[in-house]
């Protein structure tokens, strides 16, 4: 039934008017909508890529700074450990020197006190010997009957 009536599409003058309207609409939309939208999309793409590159650069800088910080901390720890060892060695040496000095001083004090005690013992022995001799003379005089008299 439709086939017998003829063609479904008639190409008359309206087709060309519609084609012209489509072309005008296409070029207007392309100039006023599509190109600005595509420009905005391209600017966003460029900005996004730039931000990604900036972020990658910042990450690389942060990694380098972190590595430098860790190296500095490691170096500071090594320096602190060597200084600590040096201080401990100096303190140990100082203590050993003081101990030797105190030992020498105490040995000198002991020797001096020993000599003083020995001298006092000799003096006491001499005094005691003199007293013994004096008492022996008195006792002998009393036993022998009167000889010399000593004032006591």
**Residues 8-37 pLDDT 10s:** 777 788 888 999 999 999 999 999 999 999
Q: How far is CA 12 from CA 6, 17, 18, in A?
A: 14, 9, 11
Residue span of the structural domain in which 117 resides: 18-140
* Number of Cβ within a 10 Å radius of residue 103: 10
pLDDT for residue 144: 87
Residue 146 has pLDDT above 70, yes or no: no
In a domain, residue 71? The reply is: yes
In a domain, residue 107? The reply is: yes
In a domain, residue 35? The reply is: yes
Q: How far is CA 102 from CA 105, 106, 112, 114, in A?
A: 5, 6, 15, 18
In a domain, residue 11? The reply is: no
The model carries a pTM of 0.44
In a domain, residue 7? The reply is: no
Higher model confidence: residue 39 or residue 135? 39
In a domain, residue 3? The reply is: no
pLDDT for residue 152: 47
Residue 55 has pLDDT above 60, yes or no: yes
In a domain, residue 96? The reply is: yes
pLDDT band at 5 (very low <50, low <70, confident <90, very high): low
Q: What is the mean pLDDT of the chain?
A: 88
pLDDT for residue 141: 86
Lowest mean pLDDT among 14-28, 38-52, 116-130: 116-130
pLDDT band at 118 (very low <50, low <70, confident <90, very high): very high
Number of domains within the chain: 1
In a domain, residue 6? The reply is: no
């Amino acid at each position: 039934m439709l086939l017998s009536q003829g063609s479904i599409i008639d190409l008359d003058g309206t087709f060309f008017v519609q084609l012209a309207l489509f072309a005008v609409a296409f070029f207007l939309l392309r100039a006023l909508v599509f190109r600005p939208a595509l420009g905005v999309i391209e600017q966003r793409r460029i900005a996004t890529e730039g931000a990604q590159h900036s972020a990658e650069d910042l990450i690389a800088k942060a990694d380098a700074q972190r590595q430098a910080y860790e190296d500095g901390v490691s170096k500071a720890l090594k320096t602190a450990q060597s200084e600590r060892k040096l201080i401990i060695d100096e303190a140990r040496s100082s203590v050993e020197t003081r101990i030797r000095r105190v030992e020498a001083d105490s040995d000198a004090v002991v020797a001096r006190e020993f000599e003083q005690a020995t001298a006092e013992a000799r003096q006491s022995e001499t005094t005691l010997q003199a007293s013994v001799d004096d008492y022996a003379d008195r006792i002998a005089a009393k036993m022998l009957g009167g000889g010399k008299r000593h004032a006591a």
